[in-house]
Amino acid sequence: MQTKIFDKKQEDLPAGYIVLDSLPHPIIILDNSNHFVWLNHAAETFFNSSLAIFSGTSAEDYFNPNSVLIKMINRARETTSSLSEHSVSISAPKLKDTTVNIQVAPFYQNNEFTIISLQKNSLEQIAKSRNIFKGAALSMSKVTALLAHEIRNPLAGIRGAAELLEPELVRENRELSKLIVTETDRIIKLLERIEKLSADRQLQLEEINIHEVLDYCLMVNSSSFGKHLIIKRDFDPSLPMIFADRDLLIQLFLNLFKNASEATSKNDSLTVKTSYALSMPHSASDQYGLNQLPFQIDIIDTGSGISPELQGYVFEPFVSNKLNGSGLGLALVASVVSEHGGAIEVSSSEGETRFKINLPIETVEKNQKSFNRLEERL
């Protein structure tokens, strides 16, 4: 028999529910079959739906049954203990992907109900995570500076071999040879910068089309380590140009795509989505101050996921989910995002891993042309 859903009229609510209804963050109560029993006013606002709409609905039908939230609910009931998780991405009808902190706890006799509390990440939490990125940037600088000199020599040999082979290749294979030369030159330029590392080094900013950069990286991906992946593009064509370091962004996306390719199998998918999310404020680094980071890139794969115990540490150097991984790829990603005054988040469960990158439209105050053009279109 389905548990009764309490009406929202104050006289129908038990005393405890009246207290919960006054809280400013979303509260959900489920019965032991995971059907919705009650939502407070903040939850109705959060999900843009009334309690009546949830009547008779199962949480497993409303949310992705493989999501972190559903797994937490089931785990809390099985262990009869409270659970909490930070920076979890959730999505639902009428709700875009949102990062929240989740607390789940069974209560009442025989764990008849489960109570769920959702709280959006605060700017302070985001700022704290950005400190991790800055630490990753510093560690990566030290590590890569030691390796740079030794890597440049074999790269020069690879480049020379590709140039010698090109005249002997059939026409359709010459593009691959040119790709080797182009990528080798780009890596050598990066290594030259690494050898000149200093605390006040500047980004090589230029106006770029993010979709051209993503298309280039996807081409590299499909030509090498990501041949097995089904590529899906969901680009917002109205996005403006941004000012960024092109080479560093290429390095960032190639690392994320390679990471996805190593966690996936044949016929798994890699989805790259761009969007404008003005409602996503973040605390940027001290260099940029408080900022809006509306330029959003989501990179989603359908692979095996990141183990829950590592999700909070994947951007730290030498932390890896892979058997023989170095743990440097995602640390470099965090470093590049931090240098651009952006923020990055990860959420993962079996069957879906999502990296969400938010960047400012402009990274320097004097470059306002793109943002002004965007405002005129909105």
- The pLDDT, as a whole number, for residue 210 is 95
Token readout for 50 is 């009334």
Q: What is the mean pLDDT of residues 24-47?
A: 88
Q: pLDDT at residue 271 above 90?
A: yes
The β-bridge partners of 272 are: 233, 299
Cα–Cα dist 250/189, whole Å: 13
Number of H helices, E strands in the chain: 11, 14
Cα–Cα dist 24/154, whole Å: 59
- 95-99, 141-145, 255-259: least confident range: 141-145
pLDDT tens digits, 340-352: 888 888 888 888 9
Q: pLDDT at residue 2 above 50?
A: no
User: DSSP string spanning 38-69?
Assistant: EE-HHHHHHHT--HHHHTT-BHHHHS-TTSHH
What is the separation of C-alpha 119 from the centre of its chain, rounded to a whole number of angstroms?
Answer: 18
Residues 6+ apart with CB under 8 A from 90: 63, 67, 68, 69, 97, 98, 100, 102, 118
Token readout for 344 is 């990055």
Backbone angles phi, psi at 27, to 5 degrees: -125, 130
What is the separation of C-alpha 236 from the centre of its chain, rounded to a whole number of angstroms?
Answer: 17
Q: In terms of pLDDT, which residue wins out, 310 or 31?
A: 31
* DSSP H stretches of helix in the chain: 15-21, 41-47, 51-54, 59-62, 68-79, 123-165, 171-195, 210-223, 246-262, 329-339, 369-377
| Position 190, amino acid | L
Backbone angles phi, psi at 289, to 5 degrees: 75, -165
Q: What is the mean pLDDT of residues 92-113?
A: 78
- The pLDDT, as a whole number, for residue 283 is 40
Q: pLDDT at residue 6 above 70?
A: no
Cα–Cα dist 60/89, whole Å: 16
The β-bridge partners of 207 are: 243
Residue 149 confidence class, pLDDT cut points 50, 70, 90: low
- The pLDDT, as a whole number, for residue 99 is 77
Inter-CA distances, 369 with 195, 210, 237, 364, 376, Å: 34, 16, 17, 11, 11
Backbone angles phi, psi at 264, to 5 degrees: -125, 165
Domains and CATH numbers, the chain: 10-121 (3.30.450.20), 124-377 (3.30.565.10)
Instruction: Using alpha carbons, select from 128, 120, 140, 138 the residue that is nearest to residue 312.
Output: 128
- The pLDDT, as a whole number, for residue 323 is 52
Highest average pLDDT, of 147-156, 186-195, 302-311, comes from 302-311
Q: In terms of pLDDT, which residue wins out, 234 or 165?
A: 234
Q: In terms of pLDDT, which residue wins out, 316 or 157?
A: 157
Query: For the whole model, what pTM was predicted?
Result: 0.52
Maximum separation of any 2 CA atoms in the chain, in Å? 85
Q: pLDDT at residue 286 above 60?
A: no
Q: Are 238 and 278 in contact (CB under 8 A)?
A: no
pLDDT tens digits, 202-213: 788 899 999 999
Highest average pLDDT, of 79-88, 110-119, 322-331, comes from 110-119
- The strand pair at 230-234 and 269-276 is best described as parallel
Q: What is the mean pLDDT of residues 109-121?
A: 79
- 121-135, 162-176, 291-305: least confident range: 121-135
Q: What is the mean pLDDT of residues 270-290?
A: 61
- The pLDDT, as a whole number, for residue 110 is 64
Helix, strand, coil distribution of the chain in percent, nearest 5? 45, 25, 30
- The pLDDT, as a whole number, for residue 212 is 96
| Position 263, amino acid | A
Q: Are 206 and 336 in contact (CB under 8 A)?
A: no
Total Cβ atoms within 10 A of residue 122: 11
Q: What is the mean pLDDT of residues 118-140?
A: 56
Total Cβ atoms within 10 A of residue 293: 24
Token readout for 212 is 């051209």
- The pLDDT, as a whole number, for residue 204 is 85
Query: Mean pLDDT score of the chain, rounded to an integer?
Result: 77
Tokens 């590590």 correspond to what residue? 143
